[in-house]
Chain A
């Protein structure tokens, strides 16, 4: 039977992440966002919950459980309900671990997974976005030329989360066989991590511009070796991840606006009793649910081993558009309070704006 009901484990996992957000994130995230830095101790605590490594074989430091895009989507939503920067930072290693798990050769998994799958949070990331007006994630401008049995990468990447501290960066580059991913170590002399990006939202998440100049990687560092990887699938998983983040921001924005509209009185009655406000809140409610349903559909198809390129694309596109609308309405319901930084609505609004822009910052 077709069901939207989460199973027992999924509910417990959701509750555990929700508890962590409630106890460790909710009260402090405003200051972390203002300061432009996340508390490393909280990231470590969230890392220990283990969604990023649950599917990693035990020999590589993980838990050896089946890969579950649904589980990842549930966790990402809960983390993003607290804060999108926090959600993305905590799961940034997944951007590296997840494609490696699916497509890495045994040698790649054995070499690269253990250092980033331990008990301590060690960032590894994915460089997908490019600072190009006509950027299309499906055909990166960054090139990988094969030369004397190695690859020379050249190009510029932007919005690469945690690049400065990353042990490995998975770089998306075009090859003669289409776009592929390359494992680049932090100490590669051809890799330059530039300044931190100054962004409209996600203040607390450090993202960087990364330049690849004559960056030589061995043929063995092409993800999947000779077989390469299914780049469209990696992209799809990233898009489902982004949709899950959007679901979290949207739910947070909706709930805050709903509670505010019930309490805030104007002209002798709560503003929520005015249709102009109530309609906005209702729209936020159903769009937030719609984002989640589209996200879960794509995630459950991936979980069933079916290709979900189309569903992932639609989920992310819808999520990007609706998260903006929800964020906008959230600010509007609060009026002046929505515009000042003392209330979380403007943060939701700023962070939601990034969903439609960013690629490769979250994955399931």
Chain B
């Protein structure tokens, strides 16, 4: 039966259930053709007006063929609009009913899914003696927060899991958050992006590389830290003692400062090698290490950049920040080319939609920056950040119903992950060159 090709796509990008949901709303007579990874056909599903009229595989037809196709490791699809036969057979069932039945069958069957595998791996990490001690410590000190909402795994309707679908980059990466200008919101971005990444199922370590210690200020916990990252750099403390668990199971923090303020020389001397060793070590303990850097692109930031695999620039949506942003690229150029991090993107922060000047910075960034380097997600200036700071929690965890702006860190985390995956080769190269692992 010939037909007119209407749509095609990759099932890594679109869940099969979602494609069926779309076609189920259509009144056209369509044939959904499914293919395995090697482009061999897996079978077809015929739909009309929300009903599955027929399903066929190489060996079966009807309801069982539909169930077989739903479970099959299909990789791509094509939608054909086909001529309606003179006599349409009695439909198998509605799309909705069949998808529900498929979900029930999956619930009754073996439960090993990609997500389960990931969670098993994460569990293995957590039961490592070092991590177990940290986790227990975290639970002892944890401030109760609202649990992350459970969501339905789009790949498996009806299978409810905690958190979002984990999509990990191929190997750990060290992601510096940098800006030439102070007050651009690096700490806010670093903290909430780290949380956003954990919400997507990743193990994250957030390192406060700014001697001001603003990460701990943001969560109102400065007094908690005994050992800081600068103690570790100076050989006066161990990583294990600096790592702090948090109320979020997959998030650990290394504060900037411990109980004793380090020598002022720590910000002057070159600790690039110590940063490489430290961040390399952390990169083997988590899937993503997020490093909040001090303002400016030189000094400590320069050293951290030389030890990072990736960097995100934070551009404040105001004119002075825009004018000084040329220093972002100059700062990167000053890093030895062999150790220079990949620029993952630039996040616009503190956008004020009501201000023509602020919006103008956005418009100019869109026009002047290379295509796709600016993240789609821009963070607005919002009183929600002030409220969260007053409460001593990240905005994403401020109350049972966090402000709408917190949603944006989920979308930013999704963009970051997409870009990390697309630069996976670069990550491997950068890791090898920079971290020696």
A binds B: no
